[in-house]
């Protein structure tokens, strides 16, 4: 199947792409690769698919590659984006059949390009660089192996082999891992500092475009405050809310608006289908925000077909349960897009992988109040405590501290004493007891 686009604006001529995909059976779906191409800044001007077994030399059949060449010429494309894991020699062979200057990009190269465009922090930049090096390493190793076998400095038009390249890639990978481990240690210390301050840590997880960033804005406190104004230095600006893949590459943390609990909500990079293990591992330190949370909200686009929702839920659970020990609450988002009765059908169909989900519309706010209640119910239990304190300046400082770190149910004053009934995390209760034990009675005047 081929299709070309007409009437494309001239200012996008430098980023015109044909998207292509081969599948073993059934029909190829180009929806996601088209979205990825748009996220990378390409104007998709043509499509090509094929259903057949993989051709070792060209990925597609030789006749389909000729069809691809003609489509590229007609649409004046500057790139061909292939939604498959294309080997280095297949890439070279396909490129040799296309007009000069047309770039051949596979799925993972495109994802890395998007990651590179969105990497605005040192950590994100390191993770992108690590992913790129991991992508390049097997290609360098393959190049080395064939060069040694053929006893030639160059082969198949892929350039001259230099054995130092492979060693250099491995050295760079090791150095980046060391720096990421250092960053991770600092972030873990920050997480513990936040917990010591009485905060519960809740992470948003899920696939790209499930609406995580929009939901975060719904849950975030001080949503109407100018994001350029001063705020607590421990918090970031609220994540963007756009209908675009990979808007969130790093992590964004904001204080959530809850009735009792002090909650910090972290939005992270979204999952995406068919990512290879090496790419997931490259962003492991970003996923630590999910793995080490007190609660995970797994956000799913409820407007998608049941089969697609189930596949994403199963894959997400596999990723999360591998290392995560926190409870997971499934959130069916975008319910405003569902016809009456459809939500109940989807709840029933997915009950095995999504028991008792919370249905919300981050766009309209429907169900968000129920989600707040669910978050507080699912967080680790607090302890109840009653402290009877001598009325003094130090005692009043402790009362203020408890208000900041827990939820005060009752505060009463009588007979030069203050009685404080409150709930808080066990660690906060222990610290409050310790502080109270050192208080001296107020001096009489």
Domains of the chain plus CATH, in order, are 2-115 (3.40.50.11060), 121-184 (no CATH), 199-378 (3.40.50.300), 383-437 (3.30.70)
Tell whether residue 211 is among the known ligand binding residues.
yes
pLDDT mean over 47-64:
95
pLDDT at position 225 is 27
Tell whether residue 101 is among the known ligand binding residues.
no
Tell whether residue 267 is among the known ligand binding residues.
yes
Give the tens place of pLDDT for each residue, 125-177. 887 888 888 888 877 776 666 555 555 444 444 445 556 788 899 899 999 98
Alpha helices in 102-247 (DSSP H): 107-118, 122-150, 163-196, 212-219
17 in Cβ contact with 80 (< 8 Å): yes
Tell whether residue 335 is among the known ligand binding residues.
yes
Tell whether residue 53 is among the known ligand binding residues.
no
Tell whether residue 363 is among the known ligand binding residues.
yes
Task: Mean pLDDT check: name the lowest of 92-101, 157-166, 347-356, 392-401.
Answer: 157-166
Alpha-carbon gap, residue 277 to 343, rounded angstroms: 33
Tell whether residue 362 is among the known ligand binding residues.
yes
CA 248 to chain centre: 7
Tell me the CB-side half-sphere exposure of residue 112, using CA atoms within 13 A. 21
pLDDT mean over 432-436:
86
Tell whether residue 247 is among the known ligand binding residues.
no
Give the confidence band of 286 by pLDDT, cuts at 50, 70, 90: low
DSSP string, 24-80: SSS----HHHHHHHHHTT-EEEEEEEEESPPBTTTBS-HHHHHHHHHHHHHHT-SEE
Structure-token match 């304190």, residue found: 389
Tell whether residue 208 is among the known ligand binding residues.
yes
- The two tokens of residue 436 are 């109270």
pLDDT at position 156 is 44
pLDDT at position 94 is 94
* Number of helices and strands in the chain (H, E): 14, 14
Q: Is the pTM of the predicted complex or chain greater than 0.85?
A: no
Tell whether residue 224 is among the known ligand binding residues.
no
Tell whether residue 361 is among the known ligand binding residues.
yes
Q: Whole-angstrom distance between the N-terminal and C-terminal Cα of the chain?
A: 93
Rg (CA), the chain: 27
Alpha-carbon gap, residue 129 to 303, rounded angstroms: 35
Tell whether residue 170 is among the known ligand binding residues.
no
């Amino acid at each position: 199947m081929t299709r070309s686009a007409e009437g494309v604006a001239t200012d996008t001529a430098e980023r015109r792409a044909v998207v292509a995909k081969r599948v073993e059976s059934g029909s190829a779906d180009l929806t996601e690769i088209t979205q990825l191409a748009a996220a990378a800044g390409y104007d998709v001007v043509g499509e090509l698919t094929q259903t057949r077994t993989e051709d070792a030399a060209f990925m597609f059949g030789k006749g389909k590659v000729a069809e691809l060449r003609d489509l590229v010429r007609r649409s004046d494309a500057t790139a061909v984006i292939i939604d498959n894991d294309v080997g280095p020699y297949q890439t070279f062979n396909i490129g040799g059949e296309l007009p000069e200057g047309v770039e051949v990009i596979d799925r993972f190269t495109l994802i890395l390009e998007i990651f590179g465009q969105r990497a605005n922090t040192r950590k994100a930049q390191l993770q992108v660089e690590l992913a790129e090096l991991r992508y390049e390493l097997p290609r360098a190793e393959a190049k080395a192996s064939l060069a040694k076998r053929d006893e030639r400095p160059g082969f198949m038009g892929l350039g001259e082999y230099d054995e130092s390249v492979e060693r250099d890639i491995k050295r760079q990978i090791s150095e980046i891992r060391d720096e990421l481990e250092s960053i991770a240690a600092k972030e873990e210390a920050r997480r513990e500092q936040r917990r010591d301050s009485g905060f519960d840590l809740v992470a948003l997880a899920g696939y790209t475009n499930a609406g995580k960033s929009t939901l975060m804005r719904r849950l975030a406190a001080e949503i109407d405050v100018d994001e350029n104004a001063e705020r607590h230095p421990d918090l970031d600006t609220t994540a963007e809310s756009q209908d675009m893949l990979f808007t969130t590459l790093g992590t964004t943390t904001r204080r959530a608006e809850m009735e009792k609990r002090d909650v910090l909500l972290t939005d992270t990079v979204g999952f995406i289908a068919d990512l290879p293990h090496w790419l997931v591992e490259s962003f492991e330190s970003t996923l630590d925000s999910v793995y080490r949370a007190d609660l995970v909200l797994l956000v799913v686009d409820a407007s998608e077909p049941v089969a697609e929702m189930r596949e994403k839920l199963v894959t997400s659970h596999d990723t999360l349960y591998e290392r995560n020990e926190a409870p997971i609450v499934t959130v069916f988002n975008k319910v405003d897009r569902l016809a009456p009765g459809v939500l109940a059908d989807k709840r029933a169909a997915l009950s095995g992988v999504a028991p008792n989900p919370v249905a919300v519309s981050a766009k309209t706010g429907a169900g968000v109040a129920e989600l707040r209640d669910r978050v507080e119910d699912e967080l680790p239990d607090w302890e109840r405590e009653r402290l009877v304190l001598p009325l003094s300046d130090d005692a009043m400082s402790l009362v203020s501290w408890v208000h900041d770190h827990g939820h005060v149910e009752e505060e009463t004053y009588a007979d030069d004493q203050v009685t404080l009934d409150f709930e808080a995390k066990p660690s906060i209760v222990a610290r409050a007891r310790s502080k109270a034990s050192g208080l001296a009675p107020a001096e009489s005047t």
